Amino acid sequence: MAPRICGTSTTLASLDACLQTSSRLAAHATRSFSLTCRNEKITKGRYEMVKWIKEKATNNFDKNHPTYLGPHVDQPFPSNPLFRSQSVLSESMKNRIYTQVMDHGVAMKAVSEEMQVDVRRVAAVVRLKELENHWKLEGKKFATPYAKAVMKMLPQSKWAQGDMNIPHEPINDIPVHKLSMQQLFVPVSESRHFTREDAAKAFHEGLLSADKRSPQRELIEIERQAAEEGGDRATSIEEFRKEAQEAEEEYAAELARKSELEDARVKKQQKGRFQFRIKRYNSENVGKYGRARDTTGWRYGQALQDRKRGMVKIPTSVP
C-alpha cells in the first residue's frame, strides 16, 4: 500500500500550532514580575472595628439580650436612628399565656391586664400554640434552631410572678379614625362639661367615643373611679377579673348552646367515608319583601337595592 501524503491544510495547521507555542514561551521568558511589597497598613474603618471589639464589645456583650451597634440599646443599625427594634414575647411568656387560658381557664381579658399584653395578641398566642401542639401530634418537624437564632437577635419581653415587670405594650390603644383627624372649632360654654361622647358627636353623629371603641373599657372605668372617688385600685382589679371571667363563661355557654341547637336541627347520615347532613328548610320563608338572605336563590330574580341605577353604593354612616 502506498504511503499517505499529508495535505496542505494539515501542514499549515501544524505550523500555526508551533508558532503559537513558541510565542507563549517567549512571552513567559520576557515577562516582568512586580517586586513591590504588599500594603501592611489597615484602613481606618477596620482599625475602628478592631478597637471597638477589644474595648467595648467584649465588656458589653450579654447573652440575655442582643447587643446592637447603634448608640441606643434598641438601635440595631448605626446609620438609621429612626429604626428601633421592638420587643417580642419570649417563649416562656407565650407558654404562660397558653397555660393560663387553656389549662387554668382564666379569661383572656384578665390575662391581658395581668401580663400587660394586648387581648388580640393573647388570642393570637393561644391559637398559634394550639396549632403547634396539633402539629406535634401529627409528627411534623419544627425549625427550632432557626427560631432560637432569630429570637437571639431580638429583644424579648419576659414576665415573672410577683416582680415589677416592664409592660410589653399598651393594652388599651385604639386606631385613629379618619373622621377624628379633621380640625374642628366647637364653641362650648364654660359651665358645660365637655366629655369624650360630646367630642365624638362633634366629629360625626355615628362615631363612637374613645371609651366605647377601647378593647377593655372596664379598665378605663376603674381608673376613673380611682381618680374621682379615691377607691382601692387592687380591689377594683379583682372585681374586674371576676366580671371578665363571668362574662367569658357566659359567652362560651351561649356559643355551646347555639352549637347544640344547630346540631339538633341537622340530621347526619354516615355512608362509608361520606357523611350526609340533612336539614329541614321552608322555601316559603322568603322574608317581608321576598328577598331574605337565607332564602334559596335570593341572589336571583329582582335586583337588590345596591344594584339599581342611581342608588347610593357607599357607606353613609360610621359604626
Which has the higher per-residue pLDDT, 278 or 60? Answer: 278
CA atoms within 13 A on the CB side of 59: 5
Cβ atoms of 207 and 177 within 8 Å: the answer is yes
Residue 122's pLDDT band (cuts 50, 70, 90): very high
Domain count, the chain: 2
pLDDT for 317 equals 75
Which has the higher per-residue pLDDT, 118 or 71? Answer: 118
pLDDT for 315 equals 77
**Percent above pLDDT 90 for the chain:** 28
Residues 189-210 have a mean pLDDT of 90
Among 115, 133, 157, the domain boundary falls at 157
pLDDT for 51 equals 84
Please classify residue 168 by burial: count the beta carbons closer than 10 Å to its beta carbon, then call 0-12 exposed, 13-18 middle and 19+ buried.
buried
| Residue 127 lies inside a defined structural domain of this protein | yes
Whether residue 30 has pLDDT greater than 70? no
Which has the higher per-residue pLDDT, 252 or 225? Answer: 252
Q: Can you give the residue range of the structural domain that contains 252?
A: 234-291
Among 131, 157, 183, the domain boundary falls at 157
Whether residue 92 has pLDDT greater than 50? yes
Per-residue pLDDT reduced to its tens digit, 142-185: 999 999 989 988 889 988 887 888 889 998 888 888 888 888 89
Per-residue pLDDT reduced to its tens digit, 241-294: 898 899 999 999 999 999 999 899 899 999 888 999 998 877 777 777 776 777
Which has the higher per-residue pLDDT, 28 or 137? Answer: 137
Indicate left, alpha or beta for 230 from its phi (over 0: left) and psi (-120 to 50: alpha): left
| Residue 100 lies inside a defined structural domain of this protein | yes
**Percent above pLDDT 70 for the chain:** 79
| Residue 58 lies inside a defined structural domain of this protein | no
| Residue 200 lies inside a defined structural domain of this protein | no
| Residue 109 lies inside a defined structural domain of this protein | yes
Residues 61-76 have a mean pLDDT of 77
Q: Which of 50-64, 92-106, 214-228 has the highest mean pLDDT?
A: 92-106
| Residue 172 lies inside a defined structural domain of this protein | no
- For 2-41, b/e burial (b = at least 16 CB within 10 A) is eeeeeeeeeeeeeeeeeeeeeeeeeeeeeeeeeeeeeeee
| Residue 17 lies inside a defined structural domain of this protein | no
What is the spatial distance between Cα 230 and Cα 244, in angstroms, rounded to a whole number? 23
What is the spatial distance between Cα 57 and Cα 52, in angstroms, rounded to a whole number? 6
| Residue 81 lies inside a defined structural domain of this protein | no
Among 157, 175, 198, the domain boundary falls at 157
Q: Strands 266-271, 274-279: parallel, antiparallel or unpaired by DSSP? A: antiparallel
